[in-house]
Amino acid sequence: MDEHRLAELFRDAVRDAPPASFDERDVTAASRRATLRRRTTVAMGSAFGAAVLLGGTVFGVGMLDREPDGSGSVFSAQDGQPPGAEAVPPNNQNLDPRAQVPSRLPGGPPPDSIPEDPPKQGGGTSGSAGPGTGGTPQGCETADRELAVALAGELPAAAGRNPDTARGCPAGARGAAFVVRDGDALGVVSVILGPRDTQRAEGSFKRDNGTVGYTTYARSGSSLTVLSEPQEGSNQAPFAGAVQRLAQRIAEQF
């Protein structure tokens, strides 16, 4: 087949083909619509990305601005004791502090009573919280709350412990006591506020069993005595060198 014959066949095929269903205008319009869709998609993607970035920034700033929760480190007034103080088990609240002293400690149990001999100014070998007459071997009926708080505030070893009744109180006196430990020394530190008409010599005193004390006068005019008694079988009283300071500091509050 020569070239002329082939060209005629192609021309005949073109003449028999149906007319086109679209023209140049349709192609141009379709191209514009495709371009618009692409631009819309790009714009929406950019807006979504910006929203995600803005949300992350706001969340991060909010987290940084939050204040830390400090409830775990705040000391509650309901605890009834300052930080670092030795805790007292709730089921032992009504027990005698002397009964809570470990029995394995040397020297036996702590003392049960305060000496009843009257003290002498300038030191001596005897002493008590009040005069020999009118003393009650059973001590004050209950531990005085104000005196217990004052003593615990000046003696950190007593903070957080249950107060006990003070022994050997004279008639009309009130007092409080704590079982405390001072290194290897274990015993009872007591404070007793006597009646106003009680006349006592100021100064320190000491007994043969190791009990030491100091008597002064409170602002109200009542005598105030702080004693430190060692446990039975020992002559080493806890905080023996602090009784004068304790008495003078507590006397300022009464």
**Is the torsion defined by CA of 249, 74, 176, 226 positive or negative?**
negative
SS3 content of the chain, % helix, strand, coil (to 5): 35, 15, 50
Higher pLDDT, 55 or 124: 55
DSSP assignment of 214-236 equals: EEEE-TTS-EEEEEEEEPTT---
- CA dihedral (99, 103, 106, 109) in degrees, to 10, reads 30
Mean pLDDT of the chain: 71
Question: Would you list the domain boundaries of the chain?
Answer: 108-251
Q: What pLDDT does 139 receive? A: 60
Higher pLDDT, 68 or 244: 244
CA 241 vs CA 6, 55, 206, 226: distances in Å: 133, 67, 12, 11
Of the candidates 165, 171, 164, 228, the one whose C-alpha atom is nearest the C-alpha of residue 196 is: 171
pLDDT digits (tens, 9 = 90+) for 17-66: 555 555 556 666 767 777 777 787 777 777 777 776 777 665 555 555 55
| Beta-bridge mates of residue 176 | 191
pLDDT digits (tens, 9 = 90+) for 176-191: 999 999 999 999 999 9
Give the E-state strand segments of 125-222 in sequence order.
174-182, 185-193, 203-206, 212-217
Q: What pLDDT does 107 receive? A: 37
Q: What pLDDT does 203 receive? A: 95
pTM: 0.48
pLDDT digits (tens, 9 = 90+) for 133-148: 333 344 688 999 999 9
Higher pLDDT, 109 or 17: 17
Instruction: For residues 110-131, give the mean pLDDT.
Output: 39
